Structure 1
Amino acid sequence: MIQLTSRFVGQLDFGDDSVAGAALPAGVHGFGAGAWYWIHGDETLTQSELDKAEAALRDMAALVAEALVAFAAELSDSRSTTSSFREFHLEEIPEEMVCDLFDVDTCEVVTDEVFLDHLVLVGIAINPAAKERVLALDFAIGADKPTDQLLVAVWDRNGTVTAHHES
């Protein structure tokens, strides 16, 4: 692979893999302090493509807001990915941990709003050549005490956002 430079993580070393990444100690424009940042590419990825993809991250506030709108819209459907993610955190882990994760005294007070307020950006991935998964923002419940579950907002090449639950 040719040598590429990320404006966020500096010189990229893909080694034998098609993914390079590093922690972002300062985050991107105030979001995701300590988040992981991954770049997916292969020998065809050019500096120009990488620069263009990273330029999309200039307005992280808008991207995070768009992700939260997509998650909020899904909460009205109990079978949606976001609802399943929420229910996992309310039903599949001990109540004491739920209360700690959401900073509440009882699970019953974890409304949709409380749930959304506790989503924290913990990872960013870009794949300039992809059609289905060009940009992904990984969210966890509380960056300082996350479970191993992620709620991921994924943008395709058309700008459509979908939610995914990953662990």
Structure 2
Amino acid sequence: MNHLNSRFAGPVDFADDSMAGAVLPAGIDGFGAGARYWILGDDALSQNELDKAEQALLDVKALVAAAFLAFVAELTDPNSTTSLFRDVHLEEIPEEMACDLFDVDSREAVTDKVFLDHLRLVGIAISPTATERVLALDFAIGADKPTDQLLVAVWDRNNTVTVHHES
């Protein structure tokens, strides 16, 4: 058995699962308090690979900023993933809930800025040996996550960011 230690989650044990992790009570660097942190791998994962993958998380502020740049760019296209994610929260839940969620008086008051201000980092996943999905930051509307919808910024091995909508 491979004994690994995550600087954020402590001892890592994949046991019979390819995912290990923990809830981060204080988040990382002030982001994602209460976020779930996942490490995807198996017993073949080395401490060096894990350390290298977690190195990027030492500047999570830059990662969150890059994710928001991708979200902002997508909001210019009404058919983009980010725009469709926003629409789910404005059109598919009752108006009263949408107003409470975004702290507004009507759905029409939810501007791009209001929408982005309510995105919260709720999950972080790293896949040290992956090529396509090396790092993922999961965002939800509000800390209480009233829906099971996530807006996910995904980095590949080339450091390219793409946006996904997951539920």
With the length of structure 2 as denominator, give the TM-score of the two structures: 0.98
Q: 1:1-167, aligned counterparts within 5 Å?
A: 1-167=1-167
- Residues 132 and 157 of structure 1 are in contact (CA less than 8 Å); yes or no, is this contact kept in structure 2? yes
Count of aligned pairs: 167
- Residues 14 and 43 of structure 2 are in contact (CA less than 8 Å); yes or no, is this contact kept in structure 1? no
Q: Which runs of 4+ in 1 moved over 6 A?
A: none
1:149 shift after superposition: 0.4
- Residues 101 and 145 of structure 1 are in contact (CA less than 8 Å); yes or no, is this contact kept in structure 2? no
Q: State how far apart, in whole Å, the 1-side matches of 2:83 and 2:13 are.
A: 38
CA RMSD of superposed structures (Å): 0.8
User: Secondary structure of the residue that 1:165 maps to in structure 2?
Assistant: strand
1:145 shift after superposition: 4.0
Q: Residue deviations 1:62-111, cap 9 Å, x none? A: 10000000011001111111010000000000001101110111110101
With the length of structure 1 as denominator, give the TM-score of the two structures: 0.98
User: Secondary structure of the residue that 2:114 maps to in structure 1?
Assistant: helix
Report the AA paired with residue 89 of structure 1.
H
Q: State how far apart, in whole Å, the 1-side matches of 2:126 and 2:145 are.
A: 25
Q: State how far apart, in whole Å, the 1-side matches of 2:146 and 2:55 are.
A: 28
Q: State how far apart, in whole Å, the 1-side matches of 2:128 and 2:146 are.
A: 28
1:43 shift after superposition: 2.5
1:147 shift after superposition: 1.4
% identity of equivalent residues: 75
Structure 1, unaligned stretches of length 5 or more?
A: none
Q: State how far apart, in whole Å, the 1-side matches of 2:88 and 2:81 are.
A: 11
1:47 shift after superposition: 0.2
